[in-house]
Amino acid sequence: MRSHGFSKVILAVLALCAVSLSARADVLKIVVDDTIQPVEEEFIDHAIQEAKNTHAEALLIELNTPGGLMTSMEEIIHKVLASPVPVIIYVSPNGAHAASAGFFILESADIAAMAPATHTGAAHPVFIGPSGSVPQDPIMKEKVENDALALLRSYVGKRGRNQEAAESTVLKSASFSADEALAKHLVEYIAKDEGDLLQQLDGKTITRFDGSKVTLHVAGKPVRLQEMSPRERTLSWLMNPSLAALLLSFGLVCLYIEFNHPGAVVPGVVGFIAVLLALFALHMLPVRYEALVLILGAFVLFALEAKMHSHGVLTAGGITIMVLGMLLLVNGPIPEMRVQLWAALAIAIPLGLITVFLMSIAIRARHNKVTTGEPGLIGETGIVTVPLVPAGKVLLRGALWDAVAPMNVDIGTQIVVRGVRNLVLQVEPVPQPAAGPAHA
């Protein structure tokens, strides 16, 4: 009896906890407003796990993207399809778009919605080979298209959406406004804001990808915004191709300064960190490593300019191939994932001029006469204070020095230093100008 009563108490407590959790359930929201790449993939994965752990009613992903990497896109789709919490993807705000990889992700959601004046589609894949080139071979093109179509077919029909219209975004690069996407059954809702969207969704029963049915109770529920972690924010910042190119170039210049001024420390540390950050970012991006050869070649031309003084010809050549190297460095499938022309020019021109200037100073310093230590005394002139017979003393730079000459030299004679050995100056008299012809 006691055991039976105790069990009832436990069941009552669990029921109260369940009711409490249900009352406190909220809608977790994240904003994806960037290209689709590994950082966004990690961000979405963390959000799905957070929604699961906090028993959120749903996960709302506000999406605005021009597209991105196919590998990251596929990972995000797999995570959304397997999410234990219903996923609502909402293309917002007005004017936003979910293009290319963004369209694939939008179609993977339990609920796909768009704000007015938004658009989606243009999902034709761009294949990136090891060399960074886009193949023109019709067979390879067909293979890439078929792979993308197979991926879409694997979930679009099961989500109850228009498979033919979805495939047209791949085969014909078709794009759709919010109204067109709704009419063609690519999305389920058009909502002016998230409040309107949640109100429309409230009480709706949806079929999850695994076949289970869930009724949404989201109207009036608090929407909890999850921001990127500091780590994710930093990585997202580094994933900017233009910034990665700037860090790489700046780091190389700092390392050059350190090599020419050993012990300066600060340029070396800053340059080392900048190069490491650049390499870390480039490792996560589709990089043409041949472009790095162009960038290094630019520094070679800058060094030759400082040495040979070609009146700017070598500098212009170095800037040109550096700009080309920057533009070719990151072979992203969309323009937003490549180094922009303005950024390449803004990096290459100042960097070229600064590098030539620094190299000129370094080369000139190496050719200048040494003015310190014993070598700096050679060529200096002084006055004999103790007769050189042939050893004696001379006054030089305000100090008395032991000196020796190849002949006897009298007091007061001006001498020039020809060498230094064991702190003894080797001198000889300053040649006197020849007397001019006599005039009557």
Q: Where are the alpha helices (DSSP H) in 239-340?
A: 241-260, 266-283, 289-308, 313-329
Q: Is the pLDDT of residue 79 over 50?
A: yes
- Strand pairing category for 205-207 and 213-215: antiparallel
The answer to whether the CB of 176 falls within 8 A of the CB of 120 is yes
Mean pLDDT of 125-143: 58
Express as a percent the part of the chain with pLDDT over 70: 86
pLDDT at 129: 43
pLDDT tens-digit series, residues 143-196: 878 888 999 999 999 999 999 999 999 988 899 999 999 999 999 999 999 999
Task: Please state at what angle helix 241-260 crosses helix 341-367, rounded to 10 degrees.
Answer: 0
Q: What span, in angstroms and rounded, lies between the C-alpha atoms of 194 and 223?
A: 9
pLDDT band at 369 (very low <50, low <70, confident <90, very high): low
From 63, 173, 198, select the one nearest 121 (Cα to Cα). Answer: 173
From 158, 153, 98, 94, select the one nearest 123 (Cα to Cα). Answer: 98
Looking at per-residue confidence, does 322 or 22 come out higher?
322
> How is the chain split into domains, by residue range?
7-229, 240-367, 374-429
What is the average pLDDT score of the chain?
83
- Please state the CATH superfamily assignment of the domain spanning residues 7-229 in this structure: 2-enoyl-CoA Hydratase; Chain A, domain 1 (3.90.226.10)
Q: Is 235 helix (H, G, I), strand (E, B) or coil?
A: helix
- Strand pairing category for 58-63 and 391-396: unpaired
Domain 374-429 has CATH 1.10.3720.10: no
Q: Is the pLDDT of residue 131 over 80?
A: no
Q: What span, in angstroms and rounded, lies between the C-alpha atoms of 154 and 120?
A: 19
pLDDT at 6: 52
Looking at per-residue confidence, does 371 or 288 come out higher?
288
pLDDT at 31: 96
Mean pLDDT of 307-313: 77
- Number of other CB atoms surrounding residue 238 within 10 Å: 18
From 154, 130, 89, select the one nearest 286 (Cα to Cα). Answer: 130
Mean pLDDT of 329-339: 77
Express as a percent the part of the chain with pLDDT over 90: 37
pLDDT tens-digit series, residues 252-268: 888 877 877 777 788 88
Looking at per-residue confidence, does 106 or 7 come out higher?
106
Please state the pTM of the whole predicted model: 0.70
The answer to whether the CB of 47 falls within 8 A of the CB of 59 is yes
Out of 40-49, 143-152, 316-325, 326-335, least confident range: 326-335
Highest mean pLDDT among 19-23, 180-184, 270-274, 363-367 belongs to 180-184
The alpha carbon of 298 is separated from its chain's Cα centroid by a whole number of angstroms, namely: 21
pLDDT at 12: 54
Strand partners, 121: 99, 175
The answer to whether the CB of 32 falls within 8 A of the CB of 226 is no
pLDDT band at 105 (very low <50, low <70, confident <90, very high): very high
Q: What span, in angstroms and rounded, lies between the C-alpha atoms of 115 and 25?
A: 25
Side chain identity at residue 77, one-letter code: I
pLDDT at 253: 82
Query: Dihedral of CA 347/352/358/362: which sign?
Result: positive
Mean pLDDT of 199-213: 92
Out of 19-28, 144-153, 217-226, 266-275, least confident range: 19-28
Side chain identity at residue 156, one-letter code: V
Q: What span, in angstroms and rounded, lies between the C-alpha atoms of 302 and 299?
A: 5
Residue with tokens 């590098």: 355
The alpha carbon of 323 is separated from its chain's Cα centroid by a whole number of angstroms, namely: 17
Give the DSSP per-residue string, 177-206.
EHHHHHHTTS-SEE-SSHHHHHHHHTT-EE
Looking at per-residue confidence, does 17 or 108 come out higher?
108
Give the contacts of 35 (CB within 8 A, at least 6 positions apart): 65, 66, 67, 68, 69, 239, 332, 334, 336, 337
Mean pLDDT of 4-28: 56
